[in-house]
Amino acid sequence: MIPGTFEYYRPDSVASVVALLAKLGDDARPLAGGQSLIAMMKTRLASPEHLIDLSAIAELHGIREQGNDIIIGAMTTQHELIASELLAKYLPIIRETSLVIADPQIRYKGTLGGNVANGDPGNDMPALMQCLDASYQLVGPKGEREVAARAFYNGAYDTALQADEIVSAVRIGKPVAGHGYGYEKLKRKIGDYATAAAAVMITMSVATCTSASIGLTNVSETPLWAEAAGKALVGTQLDEASIAKAVAAAEAITNPASDMRGPAEYRTKMAGIMLRRALERAKSRAHG
């Protein structure tokens, strides 16, 4: 668990990062909180020759409102997500999710940008971002572009991010007031990745579900936006039959690995159970 040799850089602007990435090419990796990358370097699953630390770049930090959107800088830590009053007001599901990521020490270091950009299927934020229909702002030599979270992930550690780009921010539209939400995660212990987890956002009109969006964590090579499962709930009273239909639709799109967390069949079923429980909580919170 000794990493290979690398050069270390700590630029103070996005422009310098982009210039460095352009110059150093594929052998360079940006370093956010390091909670995935450094572990991979220690086992030499990753051996970047150049490590570009993004922590000194002020413009990558912070959470702000922009019209109907919330913009979160990529280097915002999970601890900052938990502490943010703005998020507590508009997007409490981000706090709920952040609180089940690892432990406080890791959350002081781990960042939203690193969590979404790495493409690790075990990370919690990607499925949540898909559930929220967030989009990622990417910066590279050709300037900025925006990619929807739902279109960002191609496979494990394989994303739409190019080697010469970084994620600079995440943009999330404000959900309507009175929405219901829940992030339910099954894990073996603090610090573990999810055996399965589900993010749920719903709106209700009296007793009828008027919108539903569902994201699933760590039950495939990529995070999953369970579109059909969400649709199965819209227009229903969230009765048992509709929920069973949504659960079946969610389970159908999973393709988990068998690992120490359990065999694939178990993890698929747990995705369904987590969805049920997240939905139950979301329903109890929705008022509209």
Partner 1 sequence: MNKQTPIDIDRAERTEKLQGMGCKRKRVEDIRFTQGKGNYVDDLKLPGMVFGDFVRSPHAHARIVSIDTTRAKALPGVIAVLTAADLKPLGLHYMPTLAGDVQAVLAEEKVLFQNQEVAFVIAKDRYIASDATELVDVVYEALPCIVDPFKSMLPDAPVLREDIKDKMVGAHGPRKHPNHIFEWQIGDKDATDAIFANAEVTIKEMLVDHRTHPSPLETCQSVASFDKIKGELTLWGTFQAPHVIRTVVSLISGLPEHKIHVIAPDIGGGFGNKVGAYAGYVCSVVGSIVLGVPVKWVEDRMENLSTTSFARDYHMTTELAATKEGKILAMRVHVLADHGAFDACADPSKWPAGFMNICTGSYDIPTAHLVVDGVYTNKASGGVAYRCSFRVTEAVFAIERAVEVLAQKIGMDAAELRLKNFIKAEQFPYHSALGWEYDSGDYHTAMKKAMDTIGYAELRKEQAAKRAAFQRGETRELMGIGISFFTEIVGAGPSKNCDILGIAMFDSAEIRIHPTGSIIARMGTKSQGQGHETTYAQIIATELGIPADDIMIEEGNTDTAPYGLGTYGSRSTPVAGAATAVAARKIKAKAQMIAAHMLEVHEGDLEWDVDRFRVKGLPEKFKTMKEIAWSAYNSPPPNMEPGLEAVNYYEPPNMTYPFGAYFCVMDIDVDTGVAKTRRFYALDDCGTRINPMIIEGQVHGGLTEAFACAMGQEIRYDETGNVMGASFMDFFLPTAVETPHWETDFTVTPSPHHPIGAKGVGESPHVGGVPCFSNAVNDAYAFLNAGHIQMPHDAWRLWKVGERLGLHK
Using CB under 8 A, list all residues that contact partner 1.
1-5, 39, 43-44, 103, 186, 188-193, 195, 259-263, 266, 269-270, 273
Q: Measured from the CB atom, is 18 or 51 closer to partner 1?
A: 51
- Count of other CB atoms within 10 angstroms of residue 259: 12
State the nearest-atom distance from the C-beta of 103 to partner 1, in Å: 8
Q: Measured from the CB atom, is 47 or 255 closer to partner 1?
A: 47
State the nearest-atom distance from the C-beta of 268 to partner 1, in Å: 11
Residue with tokens 């460095």, as numbered in its chain: 20
Structure-block tokens of residue 88: 């507590």
Q: Which residues contact 181 (CB under 8 A, 6 or more apart)?
A: 92, 93, 96, 175, 199, 200, 201, 202, 281, 282, 285
Q: Are strands 69-73 and 135-140 parallel, antiparallel or unpaired?
A: unpaired
Q: Measured from the CB atom, is 3 or 92 closer to partner 1?
A: 3
Type of residue numbered 204: M
State the nearest-atom distance from the C-beta of 198 to partner 1, in Å: 13
State the nearest-atom distance from the C-beta of 2 to partner 1, in Å: 4
Q: Measured from the CB atom, is 105 or 154 closer to partner 1?
A: 105
CA 282, chain centre distance (Å): 19
